[in-house]
Amino acid sequence: RQAGKTTLILVMLIVRCLTWDKPQMCVWTGQDGQSIRRKWLNEIVPEFERSDIAELIAENGIRRANGSESVEWKTGSRIELLPTSETAGHGMVLDFAVLDEIFADHDNRREAALLPAMATKPDAQMLTCSTAGTGASTVYNRKVRAGRNVVAEGKTEGMAYFEWSAPDGWDPNDDSAFARFHPAIGHTQNLAAIRQARDVFAEDPAEFARAYGNRPMLEGGGVIPEHIWASVVDLDAEASMAGMAVAVDVSPERDRAAIAICDDEGIAELIEYRDGIGWLVERVTELADRYSCPIVFDARGPAGSVHGLEQVDGATG
């Protein structure tokens, strides 16, 4: 956290825009539109305006309006913000694209949207960067595996991979260890702040390791921290028919699916969990016919790609 990632991205974008021998079209995407827009308004634009390179920005070149956020330089180069969507970048020709905070991505929609826009540019580059995520961060975890393989194989073309993270066997209570992998120690971070964070996350060491050791929560961690889950779970609880709703979810890899029910008292019960997703629509249809209750799933997540789920009576994505 606060390790200088935004500064590094800005430097790479500025080098593209000001030192290339022809105008560059650059885009920056974040984990969602609101997050990247806040960063643009609160961090990036003020940094441009107070820096020595402000005089290199074109007249009226900074735009803050929602949906039009960009900066244009006197060289003719531009940096634009783009939303995280399957259509972002459609019709554009890009020289440089930043995919920030990819730990939040569960599919390839950002990369798939931008790669075609770079196909005709022989010197185009895509920068993907992120803090570590969880087991659900499929895009991030795949990039890490690919990057480590590139380094292990000694490849020097096509992909450059840089990683700052705590090594295996790292002791988070060893203050001296942070300086060996944390690039911000002594700059924007100090050991006193890290000690305080370690105390705050004393009951959630996996989250501390993710946030301050940049280690993914692949095991022993998850969307719901273990100590919170333990405080609410009751293996003998059973949801009632009163106000019942059915919730459906699919793993990011689309290789498993789960169905749970919840009643009007807030009791949730897992009733089905199987490998594969071919069985899912039939089972959900059976439940809908039997109980005539709402069927809920995340239409923007992996479950949204299950053909036929949205057509089940009572289903809401």
Average pLDDT, 10 consecutive residues per value, the chain (317 residues): 83 94 93 81 89 93 90 96 71 91 84 90 93 84 91 93 92 92 87 92 88 79 65 81 87 85 87 89 88 86 86 77
Q: For the full predicted model, state whether its pTM sits above 0.75.
A: no
Helices (H), the chain: 5-19, 33-39, 45-50, 109-114, 138-153, 191-200, 205-213, 226-232, 280-291
Cβ-based neighbour number of residue 176 at 10 Å: 8
Structure-token pair, residue 25 = 């079209």
Give the pLDDT score at 87: 62
**Long-range CB contacts (within 8 A, 24+) of 14-21:** 14/53, 16/77, 16/95, 16/96, 17/73, 17/75, 17/77, 17/78, 17/79, 18/53, 18/56, 18/73, 18/75, 18/77, 20/75, 20/77, 20/95
Between CA 299 and CA 220, with CA 101 as vertex, the angle to 5 degrees is 80
CA–CA separation, 220 vs 244, rounded Å?
31
Angle between helices 205-213 and 191-200 (to 10 degrees): 150
CA–CA separation, 268 vs 291, rounded Å?
16
